[in-house]
Amino acid sequence: MTMNNKTKICKKLFNLLSEQASKVVIFAGAGISFNSPSSLPLANEVKTAILDALCDESNEIPLKSFYYQHRNEIDINRILMESMFDIILTRSHEFTNQRLFCIVKDIFSKGKPNNNHLFLSRLIKAGCRIITTNFDVLIEEALNRSREPAKEILHIHGSVKEPQSIITILRQVGQGLPREMAEMLQAALKDKILIFIGWRDEDIDVTSLLFSSRIKKIYWIDHNEEDKQELLYYDSIYTPPNLVDKLIQKFTGIKYVGNVDKLIYDLWQKLWQDDPLQNGKRNIDLKNVICELSEIDEYGKYFIFLEILERVDNEKKTLTLELINTIEERVRAKPESRTKLNKSICAELYCKKSVCSRIAGNYEEAIISAQEGLSILDNRKDITWIVELKNDLASAYNDWGIAVREQGDPKDALQKQHKAIDTFKENLNLIDRFLNMAIMQTQPKLSRLHLLDKAQVLTNMGSTYLELHQTAELLSAPGHIANEYLESANRSYEKGIYVHEALKEREGMSEEIGYYNDLKLSDLYNNIANSLSSASQIKEANEYYKKCFDLKKELGDIRGQKRVIYDYDHFITQLRNVPEMIYNEIISDKDILDIAFIEMPVSSSYLLHYKFDLTTLDIEG
């Protein structure tokens, strides 16, 4: 009698769990807590609840009508749940770490263990190790019911029993797992057989580590409500569409696509000769989340929603610009718009409008927005926003120059790019003035922030000089002029590196500033590599791409790694023959990072607010 696929996988897993349990690690995801009586929400259900709460009826800004008008265009699959929580924590003054943790705890502390948790608790008794990305502790509760001694379950994203563990992971979205946790995960997987249940490949911080782990074999149980009962072996997957299939190929694994509940039911009976509980009706409760988030002030809700929208909007940022214009009208209409609070609100609004307009190719609007933002600021106090808006203004001129050059008008491009350089120089003079004041007044935190600003401006100016070099060559300018632009680009980059390196040597620098400094240094390496590539200095370009990639990998900057992979791929395609010095590490990681998902923010609002708050503290203190 021919066995069907469910019977085949059930037999394989039965033999494995009954004979080699101590060699097995179960990797459990959110799907195991879906069924009743647990009924915990999946990520998309939480994300929808957050958006509903931000768009409640009490909001004076017509956010709700905007949301429901464009709901089908807002793809919540394009943003991580953790990113939404991070945005809330960053953008709302009401939300302390503790308050946000209370919301997360409220979501993931409800419910009781279901069959999946009881199943895993029995496997723990048999000798299996459990790793989970879940915040809930329902597996532990299932163990307690059986009066078994507590066993360590590795919660790699933290648990509701440890507030700081969750806050840490929420604040490190896109930065990879904390080093200690990454080492614990890889140690737990070494030479083990890994079974995935209820988990998808959406956690890029985990997936990238899986590829570099010494796993013996993989079994992937992929839930399918229709119970397809499809069994795929590693050598039958020819064109892997996702990271799951790539992992299965790498570790000679097996993938089963079918109804997980039915499979666990059959396995339960074979392993223990009794019946699991019947699943009841699922009932999730997110009312408290909506209630808590509804208390955020008007502009807090707006900027949280806008930050989310930036990340899920299309490449032209059409929806984001529409919402920015709606808010701009609201701000203009308020009589207190000249207060300190609203000055900050306006400045950020103009920053976002300038950046999004530039991305959409509307350069004149980008320039006007940056200029309007600068017109409301005080040159003696609002240094953080002034530097940011001047950078936006200069970048708009540079990008406009690139656009008209590509349209066949290099002469106009040259004029626009010179305006960009003049603006960057104005910015550097302004920063130097404030930097000298900070040094004289012995404000070390403030001076570090100004140095970071200076390094960023030097980096952007170097890139603009590089564009000027290309424009000059198109105009058939004398060779020495084109070379002067190239030399100016390199000088700007060298000065930027010097500032970053000097900051690294300073004592007493906070962890946040140190991380950001390294992040921007790696971006500068990438810019230098692009510059060297354009100048056909292949060997030197390759070295800087490698330096950039290594530093971003060390920092866990997944977004940055994806960007440098894109630039490196472009670099490779420009070469007729790939030289021997090309590093295999970058090529191998490219396969993973190309498929891996993580949203790419338009602006670094977290750092802007961090700098703004710290600047205010130092000035007032």
Residue with tokens 């004029």: 415
Count how many residues are written for the chain: 621
Indicate whether 77 pLDDT > 60.
yes
Mean pLDDT of 318-332: 85
Give 580's pLDDT tier (boundaries 50, 70, 90). Answer: very low
Predicted pLDDT of residue 620: 35
Displacement of CA 496 from its chain's centroid (Å): 25
Indicate whether 607 pLDDT > 70.
no
Indicate whether 342 pLDDT > 90.
no
Indicate whether 264 pLDDT > 60.
yes
Q: Which of 94-108, 191-205, 605-619 has the lowest mean pLDDT?
A: 605-619
Mean pLDDT of 567-594: 61
Contact 593, 558 (CB under 8 A): yes
Residue 311 to residue 306: CA distance in whole angstroms: 9
Percent of the chain with pLDDT over 70: 85
Of these ranges, 23-37, 144-158, 238-252, 558-572, the one predicted with the greatest mean pLDDT is 23-37
Mean pLDDT of 498-512: 78
User: Nearest-CA neighbor of 261 among 550, 1, 31, 605?
Assistant: 31
Predicted pLDDT of residue 581: 46
For residue 106, the tally of other CB atoms under 10 A from its CB is 17
Structural tokens at position 258? 């079918």
Indicate whether 551 pLDDT > 80.
yes
Contact 567, 549 (CB under 8 A): no
Average pLDDT along the chain: 82
Q: Do the strands 24-28 and 254-258 form a parallel or antiparallel pair, or are they unpaired?
A: unpaired
Q: What is the CA radius of gyration of the chain?
A: 27
Give 152's pLDDT tier (boundaries 50, 70, 90). Answer: confident
Predicted pLDDT of residue 369: 95
Predicted pLDDT of residue 572: 73
User: Nearest-CA neighbor of 271 among 30, 29, 24, 28?
Assistant: 24
- pLDDT digits over 460-472, tens only? 999 999 899 989 9
Mean pLDDT of 519-541: 83
Domain boundaries of the chain, sorted by first residue: 5-36+113-272, 377-509, 526-594
- pLDDT digits over 347-357, tens only? 888 998 999 99
- pLDDT digits over 414-457, tens only? 999 999 999 999 999 999 988 887 766 667 777 777 888 899 89
Mean pLDDT of 397-410: 95
Indicate whether 188 pLDDT > 90.
yes
Residue 127 to residue 24: CA distance in whole angstroms: 8
Is 106 or 344 the better-scoring residue by pLDDT?
Answer: 106
**H and E: helices and strands count for the chain:** 26, 7
Residue 363 to residue 407: CA distance in whole angstroms: 14
Residue 621 to residue 617: CA distance in whole angstroms: 6
Structural tokens at position 365? 């609007």
Indicate whether 123 pLDDT > 80.
yes
Indicate whether 382 pLDDT > 50.
yes
Distance separating the N- and C-terminal Cα atoms of the chain: 82
Indicate whether 601 pLDDT > 70.
no
Predicted pLDDT of residue 211: 84
Please identify, in words, the CATH class of the domain defined by 5-36+113-272.
Answer: alpha beta
Predicted pLDDT of residue 615: 45
Mean pLDDT of 406-416: 94
Percent of the chain with pLDDT over 90: 31
By three-state DSSP, how is residue 468 classified?
A: helix
Predicted pLDDT of residue 616: 45
Bridge partners, 193 (sequence order): 24, 217
Bridge partners, 154 (sequence order): 131
Displacement of CA 129 from its chain's centroid (Å): 29
Predicted pLDDT of residue 229: 87
Residue 503 to residue 406: CA distance in whole angstroms: 38
By three-state DSSP, how is residue 572 classified?
A: helix
- pLDDT digits over 195-231, tens only? 999 987 777 778 878 888 999 999 999 988 888 888 8
Predicted pLDDT of residue 241: 63
Give 288's pLDDT tier (boundaries 50, 70, 90). Answer: confident
